Chain A
Amino acid sequence: MTAATFRVHVDPEKCQGHNRCYSISPELFDLDELGMSSEIGAGLVPADLITKARLAVANCPEHAISLTEETEPEE
């Protein structure tokens, strides 16, 4: 048995502050005082927010957001 874990990450070198991700999912992204985005915490995506995470990736004009799936054996 395996359990998949999804994480989002914003590349700070690429983010230009369009705020599309924040508008789609303020649960997953936060903005600094300049309006630049970063993932909240370690970027862990709860199961009910996977769709929003995918939309954030697909709507970022700068291709700054990645969504990775980590598969680890269950103990």
Chain B
Amino acid sequence: MTSRHPPVENWATDFDHTDPAWAADPYPIWDELRRRCPVAHSDRYGGTWLPLTHELVSEVAYDTEHFTSRSVVVSDERPGPDDLPAPIGLSPPITSDPPFHAIARRMLLPAFTPKPIAALEPFTRDLCRDLLAGTEGRASFDAATEYAQHIPVRVIVRFLGFPEEDADLFRRFIRLVLEDVDLPAEEREERFAEQDAYMDAQIEEHIARPRDDLTSFLIEAEIGGSKLSREHVRGTMILLMIAGIDTTWSAIGASLWHLAQHPDDRHRLAREPELMDTAVEELLRAYAPVTMARLVAKDFDFHGHQLKEGDWLLLPFPSANRDPEVFDNPGVVQLDRARNRHAAFGLGRHRCLGSNLARMELRVALEEWLARYPDFELADPSAVTWSGGQVRGPRTLPVRVL
């Protein structure tokens, strides 16, 4: 992706997570900052902090007194204290703080436990096989746009009960929220209004014709005897759509990118299918797609740094996952890494709600891919592109079948 901001010259004092160098390969940047700082600061986006070690990232994730989740995507529109409805936020529960957070989250948790997720596995497997069948006979194709990206889109469409043909629209919404964070404010507002209007139309459609999906569930759900507000229903739908698609697409794509370049790992997975669960955790550790964000809730001293209320703070779980204090040889993917306390799904009360769904999709996507294409390579390593911003994964991934 191309940034609309000037290029970064000093990562410790002027970092920018939309910089093309960060998108292309953030690991050397993080490794250096982890050793040098380990809390970097940038004046960009109105002031942003970046802790790099596993210890500091954990500390922030557990600290809901000094950090608020009212906004979790860093952009140029830094919200003021009255701009977002605390403690609910725009997309509960990800943007909620205690005590409301627990109430909004509790309502959603049962739908994401292993049992209901396992029920989606046959659908996901069929979907992967269909997508692969579509590539049959071609020497090379794009594993990101022709395979990885479709899997979570179709699964979430089914979860929320949206029309399947709207998948392209979702990709536009996702880009708006996660990647176009440096667009002019008026343009973003216009597009957000479009997204809200789409969700409202879906809600009306579900009110008229209720069915067995998460949208109808949210419309009927109650907190303390009252139905949820329209804003709450819409905000949660947007959250599930965005958090459920871009992230998993990125994890599947990054894993295929790795396997394309490591024949030993491919062959080992073919030989030892029982290793898949451990391998999935290792790929999630090494290529964790999601960097979260917080707003500083009040002025305070954070390990010698003077944080001010309203400052942004990026929470780079992918950097925590590569901290040599916690992981041996963190830069090396070891598919049989048995002790792997990775934080790809975050830590603390905001642990990714969809982690079981994401794991299932990643495992099935890799199993089906390797069954069909046990040997493949990058068709053109220089043509691979990565998304910038807070969710990182390959957006173009040309592969050649061997």
Contact = CB atoms under 8 A, between A and B. Distances in A.
A59 B341 contact: yes
Interface centre among B109, B110, B341 (most CB of A within 10 A): B341
B109 A17 contact: yes
Interface string A17-37: 111101100000001011100
Interface in B342-364: 342-343, 345, 347-349, 351, 355-356
Nearest to A24: B277
Nearest to B106: A34
A58 B355 contact: no
Given A16-B349, A17-B351, A60 B341 contact: yes
A20 B277 CA distance: 10
Contacts of B356: 19, 35
Given A16-B349, A18-B355, A23-B277, A34 B113 contact: yes
Contacts of A16: 347-349, 351
A62 interface: yes
Given A61-B345, A62-B348, 7 more contacts: A18-B351, A31-B114, A34-B106, A35-B112, A55-B339, A61-B342, A62-B347
Interface of A: 16-20, 22-23, 31, 33-35, 55, 58-63
Interface of B: 106, 109-110, 112-114, 277, 281, 338-343, 345, 347-349, 351, 355-356
Contacts of B351: 16-18, 61-62
A58 B79 CA distance: 39
Given A18-B345, A23-B277, A59 B339 contact: yes
Given A16-B349, A18-B355, A19-B355, A35 B109 contact: yes
A17 B356 CA distance: 10
A2 B346 CA distance: 42
Contacts of B349: 16
A59 B114 contact: no
Nearest to B348: A16
B114 A61 contact: no
A59 B110 CA distance: 23
A23 B356 CA distance: 10
Nearest to B112: A35
A27 B356 CA distance: 19
A61 B342 CA distance: 6
Nearest to A33: B110
Given A19-B356, A55-B338, A58-B338, A35 B113 contact: yes
A31 B338 contact: no
A17 B339 CA distance: 18
Nearest to A51: B338
Contact of B113 (A20, A31, A63): A31
Contacts of A19: 113-114, 355-356
B114 A35 contact: yes
A55 B340 CA distance: 9
B341 A58 contact: yes
10 contacts: A18-B345, A34-B109, A58-B338, A58-B339, A58-B340, A58-B341, A59-B281, A59-B341, A62-B351, A63-B341
A22 B359 CA distance: 14
A59 B386 CA distance: 29
A50 to B, nearest CB: 14
Contacts of B343: 61
Interface centre among A17, A34, A61 (most CB of B within 10 A): A61
A19 B110 CA distance: 13
Contacts of B355: 18-19
6 tightest CB-CB pairs across the interface, nearest first? A35-B113, A58-B339, A16-B351, A34-B109, A33-B110, A61-B341
A31 to B, nearest CB: 6
Contacts of A18: 345, 351, 355
A11 to B, nearest CB: 14
Nearest to B345: A18
B229 to A, nearest CB: 23
A33 B113 contact: yes
A20 B355 CA distance: 10
B36 to A, nearest CB: 26
A39 to B, nearest CB: 17
B97 to A, nearest CB: 16
Interface centre among A34, A35, A62, A63 (most CB of B within 10 A): A35
